[in-house]
Structure 1
Amino acid sequence: MNSARLWGHAAFVRWLNATCCNNFMAKGTSLYNNLCRIMAESLNAVVVSVEYRLVPEVCFPEQFHDALRATKHFLQPDVLAEYSVDPNRIAISGDSAGGNLAAAVCQQLSQDEHLTIRPKLQALIYPVLQAFDFNTPSYQQNMNMPVLPRYVMISYWIDYFNGNYDLAHSLLINNHTALDVGQAHSFRGRLNWTSLLPSSFKKNYKPVIQTTGEAEIIQQIPALLDVRAVPLLAENETLRLQPKTYILTCENDVLRDDGVMYAKRLENAGVEVTLDHFQDCFHGCMIFTIWPTDFSAGVQTRNSYIKWLDENL
């Protein structure tokens, strides 16, 4: 029987939609269609691409609800049978914003006592996993790195939460998680990059922890600490329930440390994790495999990702 995976559309598609440029939107869709086609052919698998609603039509938590509903529908025995899917060989996956949704949905599914069919694997490609600390070493190192500089990533979070752009600078300097912001206190130990990152990633960067901050930011945007939006902050009890995991990260990416820290937290919780790090690659590279953006980085990461799925699914 065929295997199946669920693919949350990446932030690249969401970004293109936000431009309101139909030509670029069509190109982005073509890139993802190409990736899904190659995956289906390479893995002899059913690939389900979840078309969740986008900003500005809806904001969090609607994207999460869309992805969860679609996934739970597909996991029904009669639906799997319709597509000749082996219920024991299902993976949930996504890249960038899709990786955020994949991780959040996987956490939610793991806590659903009524679910009879569960994913065997999750595969996260340069995922967005936290909005707690915008000064991790990768955020500091790649703050001005195309295609995702730090200020752009912060603006995407603000869009996702329907927040106020006036808060961007405060978020950038971590005022929302300062030591005097009580709502953030219990989460600090779950995102301590000084203990979660190896020295090769920490390099010589220093933590940015404000003594006095702005608690009203969390009051205005409580989703900043909602694990459905920031799955890296989940409790250890939830992490222990996660399936075998693949996480791909790129050196030239502000989100690199999100993935590395999640891999470490999952590993500490007893989950089998493969961290696949690419030293010379950049955020979003996997979809750039069609001329004129047929980058070797895209082919390299895509092949490694598909190889892991083929060996484990």
Structure 2
Amino acid sequence: MKFFTATLLLSGVLAYYVYLPLPNTICEPWKLMILDAVFRSFMHVGNLAHDLGLGHPIRIINYMMLKVEVIGPQSSQTVQVTDTFFAGVPVRVFEPATPVEQQHHLRRAVVYFHGGGWALLSGRMRSYDLLCRNMVEEMDAVIVSVDYSLAPDAHFPQQYFDALNASTFFLSPEVLAQYSVDPERVAISGDSAGGNLAAAVVQQMVSENKTSTKFKLQALIYPVLQALDFNTPSYQQNGDTPILYRPMMARFWLEYLNASPSLVPLLLANNHTALDLARLPQAVRARVDWTRLVSPDFQKEYRRVSPARGSAGVLEELPALLDARAAPLLAEEEVLRAAPPTYIMTCEHDVLRDDGLMYARRLEDAGVAVTRDHYEDGFHACMVFSFWPAKFSVGTRSMWNYIRWLNKHL
């Protein structure tokens, strides 16, 4: 009887911890609840370890995740995998195992940046490793997965410079020739924070015009592109939807910019962009004006949050909030005009949905060809959850649609 009672109580506690009220349109909600419970457990352990003086919580969380998920450079009959360095930045290179001389043509290539809020994960994780292998096999392409520096050991602009330096190194004629890559058929891509880095690298390269080889395409997967408005419709709608919660995204931004987590409430209230702050010009505000840049279908009943009075000190302490290298959505139109054809994936149940939608609109207004790929049942990071055991149907669909787009246009 005692065992039965204990089991019942434990089951109740576990169910309470796992259960979350989710929209009925989200893909496989119970599976997502379990996945989110695992992530929250990592977060709780990291915070507890920090409270015990064992280290920074994000460093501890990342250690646990990478311990479980990172795999070595395992080649197969179809894919050759090598870990190396580009301009001092660790990368994992995936190549078709068949020698290029047997095919009598140069190959295509994609430079890829993983997600994780500039603080977590790795391109050597099982999910990214399998994604890159699928890209190689489907496209007969060379895939470069970049392991840029992470917070809290590195902060902006280090991650950005890692991404830029690794990309510039790969685009050099000597390195492209080494990997038998066609310089006219190279794309740049990334998901979440990796999408941020990909967009920022493209903008810098078209602005500086220092490399003879240019990216033919950019493909951005639910990218994070701005930190001026944490009350877009998607932030309001999905603030409590796994796996990326609204306060968590604000915390990632502060970690990236090397600022105190105590600023999270100010960011969430949009106090850093209040109407009385003269440092924020109207031209910059217009670049994140979702009432103009996002379709009414996504705006729904949500209202803009614009406090009359705010905290000027936030922008003074964090000038990078207005730096397009950190927030590519803020780029000048002339920079956007030079961007290559772009693919942008967004998910309905994602706080970052409107970042992608606003960027797509700004690129289109600048005359750039944009392919929008939106998933009504999608959630943040779903594309990398297309492999067992965390396999979601929307993850599989979105991954193959993404690869097919690259295959067709690259």
Give the TM-score of the pair, scaled to structure 1: 0.95
Distance 2:128 2:208 in 1: 30
Distance 1:184 1:82, change over 3 A: same
Contact 2:221 2:345 in 1 (8 A): yes
Q: Aligned pair 1:6/2:108, yes or no?
A: no
Q: Aligned pair 1:310/2:407, yes or no?
A: yes
Per-residue CA distance 1:10-69 (angstroms, 9 max, x = gap)? 1178434xxxxxxxx79x711110111111111110000111000111101000000000
- Residue 388 of structure 2 corresponds to which residue in structure 1? 291
- Residue 333 of structure 2 corresponds to which residue in structure 1? 236
Distance 1:144 1:113 in 2: 42
Q: Write the mapping of 1:128-277 to structure 2, written as runs, cut at 5 A.
A: 128-185=224-281, 186-277=283-374
- Residue 120 of structure 2 corresponds to which residue in structure 1? 15
- Residue 182 of structure 2 corresponds to which residue in structure 1? 86
The offset of 1:180, in angstroms, is 1.3
* Structure 1: tracts of 5 or more residues without a match: 17-24
Q: Who wins on radius of gyration, i.e. which is larger?
A: 2
Residue aligned with 1:127, SS: coil
Q: Which amino acid aligns with 2:394?
A: A
**Structure 1: which 4+ aligned runs deviate by more than 2 Å?**
12-16
Distance 1:113 1:123 in 2: 20
Residue aligned with 1:254, SS: coil
Residue aligned with 2:390, SS: coil
Contact 1:191 1:233 in 2 (8 A): yes
Q: Which moved more, 1:5-14 or 1:285-294?
A: 5-14
Q: Which amino acid aligns with 1:122?
A: Q
- Count of residues in Structure 1 that have an aligned counterpart in Structure 2: 304
Distance 2:205 2:117 in 1: 25
Q: Aligned pair 1:38/2:134, yes or no?
A: yes
Q: Which amino acid aligns with 2:138?
A: S
The offset of 1:167, in angstroms, is 1.0
- Residue 202 of structure 2 corresponds to which residue in structure 1? 106
Contact 1:196 1:261 in 2 (8 A): yes
Q: Which amino acid aligns with 1:249?
A: T
* Structure 2: tracts of 5 or more residues without a match: 1-105
Distance 2:256 2:404 in 1: 33
* 1:73 counterpart (138, 158, 169): 169
The offset of 1:112, in angstroms, is 1.8
Q: Which amino acid aligns with 1:84?
A: S
Give the TM-score of the pair, scaled to structure 2: 0.73
Contact 1:175 1:212 in 2 (8 A): yes
Residue aligned with 2:280, SS: helix
Contact 1:3 1:45 in 2 (8 A): yes
Q: What is the aligned-residue RMSD (CA, Å)?
A: 1.3
The offset of 1:199, in angstroms, is 1.0
Contact 2:117 2:249 in 1 (8 A): no
The percent identity for this pair of structures is 53
Distance 2:335 2:400 in 1: 30
* 1:52 counterpart (148, 151, 164): 148
Greater relative contact order (Cα < 8 A, sep 6+): 1
